[in-house]
Amino acid sequence: LLVYLELVTLCVVFTVFTGSSAVTPVFVQKGKDVTLDVMTDGFHEDDIVLWRFNINSILVRYIPGKEPVVSDVYTGRVEFPQKKYSVTLKNLQESDSGVYTAQLIGSAEVQIVAEHKVTVQVSPVKLTVDSVSSSSDSCNLTVTCSTQDSDITSRVTCDTTTCHQEGGERSKVTTSGASLRLYLVNSTINCNHSNQVSWTNDTNEIGQVCPQLTGKNQKQNNKLTAMLSGINQTSSVSN
């Protein structure tokens, strides 16, 4: 019997992987709650219902005649709304993105009665310029890229034509498992907050805080930079 049950479970898992049933996409902002419903009313008193996350981890087990059992990792994060077999998962984090399935184990059959693909979107980022120190031929700034639960600070030095990020690109994995990157592309500072399913960004043009870097200068390549180094600061670079 155990072997048989295993086989049935495998078949069900296989069905989930092949995506034959309708998967409901759900988008949730980080920190918010989501309620997951089952999509059938044909239950029997002795049915067992399992809510699974990404197939192999179990959130909640409904056993006939007992209170629903919440798995240790989800303790305190699950609530039960009125609707039978529905679950509310609270305070979603990026790592909660994935597929939630409700599996009904009846006396004669096992079936999937709900399948929701939950996408937890990363929180927005903000790029701020903390300080600028500027002279006629150089401009240095300190920038911070911050998000809800993490931040990165970096120093950028510029001459009149090019900018350089001290220590190169900076990155960090946030407590919620997303990645935060602060990097320079020519004279644009970029900050990108991303996880497997979504990303947000903020950018800053250094030319806006450092007048030494004119729009034209930013486009010059290194060869031109060398040629231009003889030209004085107040003159504009004209062809």
Ligand X SMILES: *[C@@H]1O[C@H](CO)[C@@H](O)[C@H](O)[C@H]1NC(C)=O
The residue ranges that bind ligand X (CB under 6 A) are 133-135, 138, 140, 157, 185-186, 192, 194, 199, 201-203, 221, 232, 234-235
Give dist(CA 49, CA 105) in Å, integer: 6
Q: Is the Cβ of residue 16 or residue 207 nearer to ligand X in the bound state?
A: 207
Q: Work out how close the CB of 108 gets to ligand X at its nearest, in angstroms, rounded to a whole number.
A: 46
Give dist(CA 108, CA 229) in Å, integer: 83
Q: Work out how close the CB of 212 gets to ligand X at its nearest, in angstroms, rounded to a whole number.
A: 9
Residue nearest to ligand X (CB): 235
Q: Is the Cβ of residue 5 or residue 185 nearer to ligand X in the bound state?
A: 185
Q: Is the Cβ of residue 111 or residue 128 nearer to ligand X in the bound state?
A: 128
- DSSP per residue, 19-62: T-SPPEEEEEETT--EEE--S-----TT-EEEEEETTTEEEEEE
Q: Is the Cβ of residue 107 or residue 234 nearer to ligand X in the bound state?
A: 234
- In 3-state terms, what secondary structure has residue 101? strand
Q: Work out how close the CB of 168 gets to ligand X at its nearest, in angstroms, rounded to a whole number.
A: 15
Q: Is the Cβ of residue 21 or residue 201 nearer to ligand X in the bound state?
A: 201
Give dist(CA 88, CA 37) in Å, integer: 9
Identify the CA nearest to 142 among candidates 174, 167, 161.
167
CB neighbour list of residue 115: distance below 8 Å, 6 or more residues apart:
16, 21, 22, 23, 24, 99, 100, 101, 102
Q: Is the Cβ of residue 47 or residue 202 nearer to ligand X in the bound state?
A: 202
Q: Work out how close the CB of 144 gets to ligand X at its nearest, in angstroms, rounded to a whole number.
A: 15
Give dist(CA 38, CA 164) in Å, integer: 54
Q: Work out how close the CB of 166 gets to ligand X at its nearest, in angstroms, rounded to a whole number.
A: 8
Q: What number of helices (H) and strands (E) belong to the chain?
A: 3, 17
Give dist(CA 195, CA 174) in Å, integer: 10
User: Which amino acid, 147?
Assistant: T
Q: Work out how close the CB of 197 gets to ligand X at its nearest, in angstroms, rounded to a whole number.
A: 10
CB neighbour list of residue 121: distance below 8 Å, 6 or more residues apart:
27, 28, 29, 30, 197, 198, 200
Q: Is the Cβ of residue 52 or residue 181 nearer to ligand X in the bound state?
A: 181
Q: Work out how close the CB of 164 gets to ligand X at its nearest, in angstroms, rounded to a whole number.
A: 9
